[in-house]
A and B are shown apart, each in its own frame.
Chain A
Amino acid sequence: MLCEGTYPFYRGGVSTWTHNLILNLKDYDFFVLSVTPAPFLRRRYDLPPNVKGILDIPLWGTEFAKEHMREFKFRDFLSRNLSTDERKIRKEFAPSLRMFLDEIKHGCRDPRRLAEAICEMHVFLTKHDHRRTVRSETFWNVMREELFNDRLYGYTKLSYMIDFSRILSHILRLLSYEYPYADLSHSSVTAFCGLPGIILKIERDTPYLITEHGVYFRERILDLPSKSSIIERMLLINLYRAIVQVNYYYADKVLPVCRFNINWERELGVSEEKIEVIYNGINIERFKPLKTNAKDNLKRIVVMARIDKLKGIMNLIEAMAKVSKHHHEAICEIYGPISDEAYFKTCQRKIKSLNLEDKVLFMGPTDKPELAYNRAYVVVQPSLSEGFPFTVIEAMACGKPVIATDVGGVSEAIDSFGVIVPPRSSIALAEGIMKVLENEEYAEEIGGKARRYVLERFTYKEFLENYRRVYLEVLSEKIWREIIEWQRS
Chain B
Amino acid sequence: MAEVLTDLDSLAVAVLEVDENVKDYLDVAVILEVIGVTRETAKRYGYKDIFNLAEAVFKAIRHYQLRGETAGTRKKTRIDSIIEALRLFAGGMTLGFPWVIILLVYIIFKVSWLPISETPLVSTSVNLALVASIISTSWISPLFMRKLFYFMYQKMYSAVRKILVAYFISGFFITLLIAILLVMFTNTLGIYPDWWITYFTIFFIALSLLWLTTAPLYALRLHIPLILTYLCSLLIIGISYTVMRSIPQKFMAHIYGTIGGSAIVIIYLTVYLYLRSRFKPESYGDVKIRLPFTLYLGMPYSIVNLLYFIFIFTDRFLVWYRGSPYLFLVDFLYETPASLSLLIITVPFGVMNYYIQRFYRYLSGERSEFNSFQIDEYRESIKKIYLKMQTVIFLSGFSFWVILFFLIRNQIGDVTIFTYLSIGHIFLISIISNILVFFCMHRPVMPLLPMLLGTLLNFTLGAILIKMYGVKYVASMSYMVSSIIMAIFLITMVIETIIKKIDYYYYSAF
- With a cutoff of 8 Å between Cβ atoms, the chain B residues found around residue A147 in the complex are 372
Contact with B along A157-189 (1 / 0, CB 8 A): 111111001100000000000000000000000
Give the bracket for the number of chain A residues in contact with chain B.
35 or more
For residue A342, which residues in chain B have a CB less than 8 angstroms away from its CB? none
B290 at the interface (CB under 8 A from A): yes
A74 contacts B290, C-beta separation under 8 Å = yes
CA distance A470 to B368 in the complex (A): 54
A344 within 8 A of partner (CB): no
Return chain B residues, CB-CB under 8 Å to A159.
364-366, 368
Which of the segments A92-100, A225-233, A390-398 contacts the partner chain? Answer: A225-233
| Smallest CB separation, B33 vs chain A (Å) | 7
- Collect the chain A residues with CB atoms within 8 Å of residue B366's CB: 159
Residue from A41, A136, A155 in contact with B283 in the complex, judged by beta carbons closer than 8 Å: A41
- A158 touching B365, Cβ below 8 Å: yes
> Contact between B372 and A385 (Cβ–Cβ < 8 Å)?
no
B24 A237 Cβ-Cβ under 8 A: yes
> Within B324-377, which residues are at the interface with A (CB < 8 Å)?
364-366, 368-375
How far is the CB of B58 from the nearest CB of chain A, in Å?
Answer: 12
Looking at the assembled complex, report how far the CB atom of B75 sits from the nearest CB atom of chain A, in whole angstroms. Answer: 15
- A40 pairs with B2, CB closer than 8 A: no
Q: Are A67 and B290 in contact (CB under 8 A)?
A: yes
Inter-chain contact B371/A157, CB cutoff 8 Å: yes
Are the CB atoms of A222 and B285 closer together than 8 Å?
no
Contact with B along A121-165 (1 / 0, CB 8 A): 000000000000011110010011001110001111111111001
Q: Does A226 contact B34, Cβ atoms closer than 8 Å?
A: no
Q: How far is the CB of A106 from chain B (nearest CB, A)?
A: 14
Report the Cα distance A327→B343, complex, angstroms.
Answer: 71
Given contacts A158-B375, A423-B34, A221 and B503 within 8 Å (CB-CB): no
A234 at the interface (CB under 8 A from B): yes
Please report the C-alpha to C-alpha distance between residue A40 and residue B24 in the assembled complex, in whole angstroms.
39
How many interface residues does chain B have, given as a range?
35 or more
Asked if residues A153 and B33 are in contact (CB atoms below 8 Å), the reply is no
**Residue interface bits A54-74, CB-to-B below 8 A is 1, else 0:** 000000110110011010001
Is A267 at the interface (CB under 8 A from chain B)? yes
Q: Which residue of A lies closest to B73 (CB)?
A: A227
**B51: nearest chain-A partner, CB-CB:** A267
A472: interface (CB < 8 Å): no
Q: Which residues of B contact A39 (CB under 8 A)?
A: 287
Within 8 A of B (CB), among A1-40: 9, 38-40
Contact B503 A158 (CB under 8 A): yes
**How far does the Cβ of A244 sit from chain B's closest Cβ, in whole Å?**
11
Q: Could you say which of A38, A64, A406 contacts B38, with CB atoms under 8 Å apart?
A: A406
- Determine the residue in chain A with the shortest Cβ distance to B25: A267
B1 x A148 contact (CB < 8 A): no
Say whether, besides A41-B285, A422-B38, A158 and B51 are in contact (CB < 8 Å): no
Which chain A residues lie closer than 8 Å to B405 at the CB level? none
Chain A residues lying within 8 Å of B284, measured Cβ to Cβ, are 38, 40-42
Which residues does chain A contribute within 8 Å of B30, judged by CB atoms?
Answer: 218, 221-222
Tell me if A162 and B507 are in contact (CB < 8 A).
yes
| Cα of A140 to Cα of B372 in the assembled complex, Å | 13
Contacts of B290 in A (CB 8 A): 67-68, 74
- A384 interfacial contact with B, CB 8 Å: yes
Identity of the chain B residue whose Cβ is nearest the Cβ of A222 in the assembled complex: B30
CB B301 to nearest CB in A, in angstroms, measures 13
Q: Quick check: is B50 within 8 A (CB to CB) of the other chain?
A: yes
Tell me which residues across on chain B come within 8 A of A68, comparing CB atoms: 288, 290
Question: For A38, what are the chain B residues with a Cβ–Cβ distance below 8 Å?
Answer: 154, 156, 284
Q: Which residues of B contact A422 (CB under 8 A)?
A: 1-3, 36, 38
The answer to whether the Cβ of A360 comes within 8 Å of any Cβ in the partner chain is: no
A453 interfacial by beta-carbon distance below 8 Å: no
**Cross-chain pair count, CB within 8 angstroms:** 148
- Cβ of A217: which chain B residues have Cβ within 8 Å of it? 26
Per the bound structure, the CA–CA distance linking A68 and B285 in Å amounts to 12
B297 and A63 contacting across the interface, CB-CB below 8 Å: yes
Q: Is the CB of A226 within 8 A of B368?
A: no
Q: Inside 8 A of A166's CB, which chain B residues have their CB?
A: 507, 510
- Given contacts A140-B507, A407-B34, A423-B36, whether A156 and B371 have CB atoms under 8 Å apart is yes
Interface residues of B in 20-52 (CB under 8 A from A): 20-21, 23-24, 26-27, 29-30, 33-36, 38-39, 49-51
Assembled-state Cα–Cα distance A234/B23 (Å): 7
With contact pairs A41-B284, A74-B290, A221-B30 given, residues A425 and B365 touching in the complex (Cβ less than 8 Å): no
* A384 CB contacts on chain B under 8 angstroms: 34
Tell me which residues from 130 to 165 in chain B have a Cβ below 8 Å from any Cβ of chain A: 150, 154, 156, 159
A217 to B51, CA, bound (A): 14
Evaluate contact between B371 and A74: CB separation under 8 angstroms.
no
Least distance between B217 CB and chain A CB atoms (Å): 23
User: In the bound complex, do residue A42 and residue B23 qualify as a contact, i.e. CB atoms below 8 Å apart?
Assistant: no
B19 at the interface (CB under 8 A from A): yes
A463 at the interface (CB under 8 A from B): no
- Which residues of B have CB within 8 Å of A140? 503-504, 507-508
B317, CB-defined interface residue at 8 Å: no
In contact, B288 and A155 (Cβ under 8 angstroms): no
Residues of B contacting A64 in the complex (Cβ-Cβ under 8 angstroms): 293
Distance (whole angstroms) from the CB of B402 to the closest CB of chain A: 40
Query: Which residues on the A side are within 8 Å of B2 (C-beta)?
Result: 422
Q: Are B288 and A40 in contact (CB under 8 A)?
A: yes
Q: In the complex the two chains form, is A221's CB within 8 Å of B26's CB? A: yes
B509 closest partner in A (C-beta): A135
Residues A157 and B373 in contact, CB atoms below 8 Å apart: no
7 interchain residue pairs of minimum CB distance: A159-B365, A422-B36, A148-B372, A74-B292, A42-B285, A135-B508, A40-B287
Q: Chain B: residues with CB nearer than 8 A to chain A? A: 1-3, 18-21, 23-24, 26-27, 29-30, 33-36, 38-39, 49-51, 65, 150, 154, 156, 159, 283-288, 290, 292-293, 296-297, 364-366, 368-375, 378, 501, 503-504, 506-508, 510
- Other A-B contacts than A162-B503, A224-B19, A233-B27, 6 sampled, CB-CB below 8 A, are A137-B501, A149-B373, A165-B507, A222-B30, A230-B23, A424-B34
Write the residues of chain A forming the contact surface with B, with a CB cutoff of 8 angstroms.
9, 38-43, 60-61, 63-64, 67-68, 70, 74, 77, 134-137, 140, 143-144, 147-149, 153-162, 165-166, 217-218, 221-222, 224, 226-230, 233-234, 237, 263, 267, 384-385, 406-407, 422-425
